[in-house]
Amino acid sequence: MSLSKSLGLSTLSLKQASSSIRRKAPTLSSVSSTLMMHYSVALTRLLLMPSKCSLCANGSAETLENQVSSSKCESPTKVVLSTWINARTSKRLLNAAACSMQKSTSTPLPAGYYAAKNTEPVDADLRSHFQMVIGSLLYLMLGTRPDIAFAVTHLSCHAANPSQDHLNKVLYICCYLIGTSTYSLVYNGGSGAGLIACMDSDWGSDPTSRLSQTGFYLKLADGLISWTSRVQKTIAYLSTEAKYMALSDCTRQVTWIRSLLGELGYKLKAIPICGDNQGSIFMASNPVTEPCSKHINIHYHGIRESVMKGNVELFFIDGAENPADLLTKNLPHEKFVKFRAQLGLHFPSGSI
């Protein structure tokens, strides 16, 4: 069954929807929030909402009475990409993990937790159980759950030879899902918010390999449309270098989204990218080779071309106020909840 059918959308096909919006697309200085889009790395996601349609929690399509008055485009003021995938997958996952009766947790993993490599021989049964659960969590994370991105990718690195502790922590994530299975990922067309990106890195976070962690997201209409949390491929000698490589990775994703929107008829000015390291912003804005950057792989320097062409614009934000920090480490509950609220995730009252 196709994705458009499984989500219960109207009979208007994606191709028809794309051509319809393209004909009506205005020239904007920043992306209009009426273009509703959700993209993830492993899933080819629905990129354009059909006219006058909204995804609801049960997956049905409903006509919206209130349209965006300022856009001259028949797009909904608010779209709720709710728990059609999230609720069903979570329910099946919790049943398979046999933890549906367990007490929910307030964060995906305990603050500061690090999954050490298992040096014991492989336990085939334990590995099978671990891979089944982590595979389902990866599907859920890539589709609609940016809040569990770091926890899932961190533990998935041990899928070849997991320990009992790794399995327990995977079930810990499932317990977090118990209290958050009714959330909604909301795109608010009335907010006037355009496309913006935010990135961060955790320098040398792996005490074994000393590799750093990259995390970034793209946000449109007050909701995330793309998010990434992954280990960097090379060791960074300085925290500034780790931030620079994360900034470059984020820029490549922004460039792809910018190209996609350009094909749909949206002419954009520079896309803002926020980071919390002045040194990396200076390196990206200054095309001069410095002693501290001459060893960095050449493909990371592509960000300088994007800055010079005006495709992206870099901004500094305080590290304590950087929501992308959620994608690089296991945070304490207070900080985790603070940043989670900025991802476009809406939880009913009483949720953790």
Sign, CA dihedral 222-227-232-233, equals negative
- pLDDT of 116-171, one tens digit each? 999 999 999 999 999 999 998 998 898 889 999 999 999 999 999 999 999 999 99
Owner of token pair 């899928």: 159
Token pair in block for residue 42: 């492993």
pLDDT band of 193, cuts 50, 70, 90? confident
Give the C-alpha separation, 106 to 133, whole Å.
Answer: 20
pLDDT band of 184, cuts 50, 70, 90? confident
Whole-number pLDDT of residue 68:
25
Q: What separation in angstroms does the CA of 286 have from each of 98, 276, 289, 315?
A: 54, 17, 8, 14
pLDDT of 34 > 90? The answer is no
The helix or strand, by DSSP H or E, that contains position 202, with its residue range, turns out to be strand 196-202
Give the C-alpha separation, 88 to 299, whole Å.
Answer: 40
- Chain centroid offset of residue 263 CA: 23
CA atoms within 13 A on the CB side of 324: 32
Give the C-alpha separation, 9 to 3, whole Å.
Answer: 9
Q: Tell me the CATH class for 191-340.
A: alpha beta
Pick the closest to residue 198 from 220, 179, 176 (CA basis).
220
Whole-number pLDDT of residue 98:
56
- Under a CB-based contact definition with an 8 Å cutoff, are residues 148 and 215 in contact? no
More confident residue, 65 or 247: 247
Token pair in block for residue 146: 């940016």
Whole-number pLDDT of residue 102:
66
Whole-number pLDDT of residue 2:
38
Token pair in block for residue 130: 């671990």
- Under a CB-based contact definition with an 8 Å cutoff, are residues 40 and 150 in contact? no
Q: What secondary structure letter does DSSP report for 148? A: G
Compute the mean pLDDT over every residue in the chain, rounded to the nearest whole number: 74
| Measured distance between the N- and C-terminal CA atoms of the chain, rounded to whole angstroms | 34
- pLDDT of 250-296, one tens digit each? 999 999 999 998 898 888 889 999 999 998 898 888 876 666 666 67
Token pair in block for residue 113: 């937790």
Give the C-alpha separation, 225 to 257, whole Å.
Answer: 10
Owner of token pair 């399509």: 61
Whole-number pLDDT of residue 118:
94
Angle, vertex CA 110, rays to CA 108 and CA 113, nearest 5: 110
- How many CB atoms are closer than 10 A to CB 48? 20
More confident residue, 98 or 227: 227
The helix or strand, by DSSP H or E, that contains position 120, with its residue range, turns out to be none
Question: Percent of the chain scored above 90 by pLDDT?
Answer: 41
Domain borders along the chain are: 85-182, 191-340
Give the C-alpha separation, 222 to 323, whole Å.
Answer: 13
